[in-house]
Structure 1
Amino acid sequence: MGPITAATEERTAGREAAPLVLERYRLHRRLGAGAFGTVWLARDERLEREVAVKLVPRERVNEGRFEREARAAARLAHPGIVTLYEAAVDDEGAYLVSELVRGKTLAELLTAGRLSDRDIVSVGIALCDAL
């Protein structure tokens, strides 16, 4: 199945069964969208777990670069880095399936008000540790 269409979004919003991506990931709800694609909350029907699926339209995909970056990301193992479970490219686009991270986004935290110095240092240390 290729990138998600408006019809798929309507089916998902209407609680009809959404199609499977890569024959095993059922999309449930759009989590966000950016310049390079859309991220969905999905369920891995085979392993019975929630995942995040990023769908990248074909016109945004440089296949060689995508494959290299996916292999590099798959080698990373750290509690502060999202685990990549699967990556694929087909005629319609690219797909990244990763661990689902729950919690607030940085934008939500900043909207709630200024972070304390202690929180800023804590986030900075966690970022440096992951890098």
Structure 2
Amino acid sequence: MASTTSVAETIWEQIRSTRSVSDDQLSILNFLFGKNFERATRIVDEGGVKRVSGIPSRRSLFLVVGESKRKEEYICFPQHLCTCYSFFYDIVNRGEQICCKHQIAAQLAEAVGAQQEVEVTDEQLALMLSKL
């Protein structure tokens, strides 16, 4: 599992440095994440990733839209946590994945600069987090 994570992190760093994704990188990420990567690219293509930053602290989190008809937004910390059901079921409970599609979408959007930027007060950010 650790080697998969380090390979993914290397790819994310490469993408961040160029702000673009090569076919080879797409192929590797697709291999690592499978169907979750395909779903994540759809979320990014549809503008479904927001980075919410608190002012003045500059602390941030991501809100990532789900694929259901409700278009629910999940609070996401790309390398650590997502509030979606899949994160707790597939990753925490069963250990079948290393991250969910929302985490991948947040990583991808941030790496290529495709996220929407939203600023809120630190108090508003804390209120969002208190609902976890």
Structure with the higher helix share, 1 or 2: 2
The structure with the largest alpha-carbon Rg is: 1
TM-score by length of 2: 0.30
* Higher relative contact order, chain-length normalized (CA < 8 Å, sep 6+): 2
Structure with the higher strand share, 1 or 2: 1
TM-score by length of 1: 0.30
